[in-house]
Amino acid sequence: MLKKIHTDSAPAAIGPYSQAVVLNGILFSSGQIALDPVTGNVVGNTIEEQTEQVMKNLGEIFKAAGTSFEATVKTTCYLADMKDFEAFNAIYAKYFTECPARSCVEVKKLPKGVLVEVEAIAEITK
């Protein structure tokens, strides 16, 4: 059975989708960008600031679903500019300490002009 995940502690979806869904004990998050969950405004101007906010948003979704960064098995990361790869990795590594499988690509444009978007697949642990 498909279960939709929603928490007010992470930004609301800005389109016709869920923050995340759980199917058969696996969480599939939608891509998270650097939005403040209260105002909906972009947080930060640098890749470091935006990546920190993305991780906070993912963490809140993980918590609402009963999982964690440590239980993540796969991420997909989108960068507006690959020159930010090293700085992005430095922040990413603080959160995804178990080194899940990952894809990281440069894209032409991201929603609201942000610099980074991350989606995750994680095992439900609670």
Residues classed as catalytic = 104
Residue 3, Cβ neighbours under 10 Å: how many? 12
In sign, the C-alpha dihedral spanning 75, 13, 85, 104 is positive
E strands, the chain, where?
Answer: 3-5, 20-23, 26-29, 72-79, 101-106, 116-123
Q: Are strands 3-5 and 20-23 parallel, antiparallel or unpaired?
A: antiparallel
